[in-house]
Each structure stands twice: as structure tokens, then as C-alpha cells.
């Protein structure tokens, strides 16, 4: 019988075998290692996929690989990012990179979306980079790395890209469908929760890491102002519980002016039939998306968990989200890791939203599938002070986390 210690040892061995080396230095981990399956791009190191590995390395005192990763990926900001003769923003980070060897010399080749399936440009990569940089500094105390001129310039470029003026009145970040962890078409374009939670965490990280000085102080003030309105916007308009549902059922449509209660013109008829039976009396969550006459009532795992971790959700909301997960455990987790979203879209809705994507059939991959990588964020959310009682009951986490 395999003991827990043997499983942990085996997991570490697999993780170490996944490490990629660039000029004899560890710089990341490949997305997957399967000797029997030839994948299109799983031999690459993905920004978002490396984050939980990086956190594990930091916890274990193996910070060198994380430092190297941050340095090498920062250098990609200055790379040419072009498709169809169009140049992308300077702060853009790649979705992934791989190592190529030409004439005995190693090179890093980044993918900003010009090679990706569907040619999707990643929005979340630069946000994860900021979050990981802050985690590295907190774990090692190496604030000098973040204060290096090239790192300060990199943070500023990301902030300029994320905070740029747009044709948008909301404090949330406007993105296209498939531009983040759900990188296939799933009908979540606009202002998806996952990006807003990552945006909030990245802004908090940048505010903490900006070096003293005039430029740093200017951006710190801009970031603080955006954090305040973003926090209010998400808590006020994205939150769903039975009380909020009752309010939506009583909404009047076509309201105009500052006194409008139904600010996004949400119609009661748009509430899906499954929701009123599914949401528990003591639970709640943040909606997947919000736009004019359109509220995505699906539960998205990473967005809600990151909202707890980053304190984007209030203490009461955080506890309600964890209560929902506990009371709907079979739906959201079952016998496998956390689902990326619930419920899956099916039938005609699946055809319309996914474009008949055969890799996104209901309850698979991005469409309601179980993702082991979400377990780290579930465990992290359970460590928040307002959720520790829940963690002790469900996850049986040790007191020292």
C-alpha cells in the first residue's frame, strides 16, 4: 500500500523531472510529461501553470528556479510581439515559452498567442507575473530584485497596459473570450471574474513592490484609486446569494438616470432555472461575468477562490463562498479536484457559445471539467482567517498551513 510519504516523494520526483534548464539553469517546468502522448504544446512552460509549482519551490526553500523564471520572462517584454503586421502592447507577457537549440546554442522562444490554438493573446500572464514576483519577495526577502531598474520598468509597462484609457466606463478590465485560463471560446468575453480577481491581486502586488520615488508614488496613487473602485464594483454588482436573487426578481427593466436600481438592465427572466434550487440559504458567490442585460450566473472556481485569497471578496462573502463549496461539494469537487466552472453548457447553448468545439464538450476540459491545479487555490482560500473553521472540517489542514 502506498503511504502518504511515498506519494509525496513520488510527486516531488515527477515535479523535478518536469524542470526545464536554460544554459544549465532551471527556469521553469513543462506543462505536462506524458511519454505516450504527443501534445501540441505541453512541452512548453506556461506562465499560469508554473505559478503553483513556483509556490511549492518557494515553500521548500528552492527559490533559484523562481528567480530565474522571473528574470527570463521579464526579458520577453522587449521581444517583438507581432501577428499580421500588428504590434502588441509593451507590457504583454507570453502565455508560454520553450527552449530551442540551434547550432549548439540554446534560445528561449516565447508564444504571445501568435502560435496558440485560436491565436488567443493571454491577458492573465502579466498579472500572474506580478503576483509571483510579490510571492518571491515575501518568501525570500529579496526586495532588491523587484527594485532593480528593469523590474521597475517591467511593472510600469504592465500597469500602463492594464490601466490604459479605453472605451469603457467600468473599473474592471475588458478582455476578449478565451484570453486567460479558459483559453477556448466559452462565452465569457467582457469583464470575466477570473481576470478581475487576478487584476486586483496584481495591482495590490505592484503597489507593494513599486520603489520609492516620484514615478513609483504617482503609479501607487493611481493603483490605490483603481483598487478602491474595483473592490466596490465587484462586491456590489457581482455578488449573488438568495437575497440578491430576490432583488433581481423584483427588478424593473429600462431604468434610466442616476437613481436606477437595475443599473445593468438585468431581466429577471435571464435567471437560469437551476440556480434557485442550487444556491444554498447560507451560501453565495461572485458571478462569472457582468455586462449590459447579461449576467453570467455560472460559478467559476479560480475567480471566486482568488477573490478570497486577494481579499477582493469581503469576509462575509468569503465565508459564504466557502459555505457554498461545502454544501455543493458533490457538484463542484465530487471525487476529483475542483471544477473550473459549474454547470457546463450543453446542447444548443454549447454549439452557440463554444462554436461546436469538440474539445469543450460538456463536463470536459474548460466546460465544467475538473482541474487538479485548482486545489492549491482551494487550500489557500481555506487558510484565510474567516475560513479556517471550514478548512479544519473539510480539508483537515494542519494549523501551520
Cis peptide before 229 (omega within 30 of 0): no
Place of cell 461575468: 289
**pLDDT score at 33:** 76
The answer to whether 241 and 201 have CB atoms below 8 angstroms apart is no
pLDDT score for 1: 62
- Look up residue 167 and give its three cell numbers: 472605451
Per-10-residue mean pLDDT of the chain, 401 residues long, equals 80 91 94 73 88 95 96 86 67 90 88 79 94 97 96 95 88 90 89 97 97 92 96 96 91 80 85 92 94 92 96 94 94 91 93 90 92 92 68 47 35
Gap between the Cα atoms of 289 and 189, Å rounded: 8
Return d(Cα 322, Cα 282) in angstroms, integer: 10
Contact in structure between 194 and 180 (CB atoms under 8 Å): yes
Q: What is the dihedral of CA 318, 319, 323, 329, to 10 degrees?
A: 40
Query: pLDDT at position 397, please?
Result: 44
Give the pLDDT score at 398: 40
**Cα separation of 19 and 193, whole Å?**
31
The reported pLDDT for the residue numbered 243 is: 93
Residues 247 and 55: their CA atoms lie apart, in Å, by: 41
Say how far apart CA 96 and CA 316 lie, in whole Å.
37
Residue-level pLDDT at 401: 35
CA distance 123 to 70: 17
Does pTM surpass 0.85? yes
Measured CA to CA, the distance from residue 397 to residue 388 in angstroms comes to: 9
pLDDT digits (tens, 9 = 90+) for 159-186: 999 998 888 889 999 998 888 888 888 9
DSSP 216-284: HHHHHHHHHHHHHHHHHHHHHHTEESHHHHHHHHTPPSS--STT-SSTT---GGGS-HHHHHHS-TT--
Where do runs of H (alpha helix) occur along 285-371? 301-309, 315-327, 329-332, 347-354
The half-sphere exposure of 73 on its side-chain side, counting CA atoms within 13 A, is 35
Query: Crossing angle for the helix pair 301-309 and 315-327, nearest 10 degrees?
Result: 140
Amino acid at each position: 500500500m502506498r503511504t502518504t510519504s511515498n506519494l509525496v516523494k513520488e510527486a516531488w520526483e515527477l515535479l523535478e523531472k518536469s524542470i526545464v534548464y536554460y544554459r544549465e539553469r532551471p527556469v521553469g517546468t513543462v506543462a505536462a510529461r506524458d511519454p505516450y502522448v504527443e501534445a501540441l504544446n505541453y512541452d512548453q512552460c506556461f506562465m499560469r501553470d508554473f505559478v503553483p509549482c513556483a509556490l511549492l519551490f518557494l515553500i521548500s526553500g528552492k527559490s533559484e528556479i523562481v528567480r530565474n523564471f522571473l528574470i527570463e520572462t521579464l526579458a520577453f517584454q522587449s521581444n517583438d510581439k507581432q501577428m499580421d503586421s500588428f504590434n502588441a502592447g509593451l507590457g504583454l507577457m507570453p502565455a508560454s515559452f520553450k527552449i530551442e537549440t540551434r547550432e549548439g546554442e540554446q534560445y528561449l522562444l516565447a508564444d504571445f498567442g501568435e502560435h496558440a490554438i485560436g491565436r488567443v493573446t493571454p491577458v492573465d500572464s502579466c498579472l500572474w507575473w506580478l503576483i509571483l514576483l510579490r510571492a518571491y519577495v515575501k518568501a525570500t526577502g529579496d526586495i532588491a530584485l523587484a527594485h532593480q531598474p528593469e523590474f521597475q520598468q517591467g511593472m510600469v509597462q504592465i500597469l500602463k497596459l492594464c490601466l490604459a484609457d479605453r472605451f469603457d466606463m467600468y473599473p474592471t478590465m475588458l478582455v476578449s473570450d478565451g484570453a486567460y485560463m479558459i483559453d477556448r471560446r466559452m462565452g465569457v468575453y467582457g469583464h470575466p471574474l477570473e481576470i478581475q480577481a487576478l487584476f486586483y491581486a496584481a495591482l495590490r502586488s505592484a503597489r507593494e513592490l513599486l520603489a520609492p520615488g516620484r514615478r513609483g508614488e504617482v503609479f501607487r496613487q493611481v493603483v490605490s484609486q483603481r483598487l478602491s473602485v474595483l473592490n466596490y464594483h465587484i462586491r456590489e454588482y457581482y455578488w449573488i446569494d438568495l437575497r440578491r436573487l430576490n432583488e433581481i426578481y423584483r427588478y424593473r427593466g429600462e431604468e434610466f438616470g442616476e437613481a436606477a436600481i437595475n443599473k445593468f438592465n438585468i431581466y429577471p427572466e435571464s435567471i437560469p432555472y437551476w440556480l434557485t434550487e442550487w444556491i444554498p440559504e447560507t451560501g453565495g458567490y461572485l458571478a462569472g461575468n457582468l455586462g449590459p442585460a447579461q449576467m453570467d450566473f455560472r460559478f467559476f472556481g479560480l475567480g471566486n477562490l482568488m477573490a478570497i485569497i486577494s481579499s477582493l471578496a469581503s469576509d462575509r462573502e468569503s465565508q459564504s463562498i466557502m459555505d457554498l463549496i461545502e454544501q455543493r461539494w458533490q457538484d463542484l469537487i465530487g471525487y476529483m479536484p475542483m471544477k473550473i466552472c459549474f454547470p457546463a453548457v450543453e446542447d444548443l447553448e454549447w454549439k452557440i457559445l463554444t462554436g461546436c468545439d469538440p474539445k469543450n464538450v460538456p463536463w470536459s476540459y474548460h466546460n465544467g471539467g475538473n482541474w487538479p491545479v485548482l486545489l492549491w487555490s482551494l487550500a489557500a482560500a481555506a487558510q484565510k482567517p474567516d475560513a479556517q473553521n471550514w478548512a479544519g472540517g473539510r480539508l483537515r489542514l494542519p494549523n501551520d498551513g
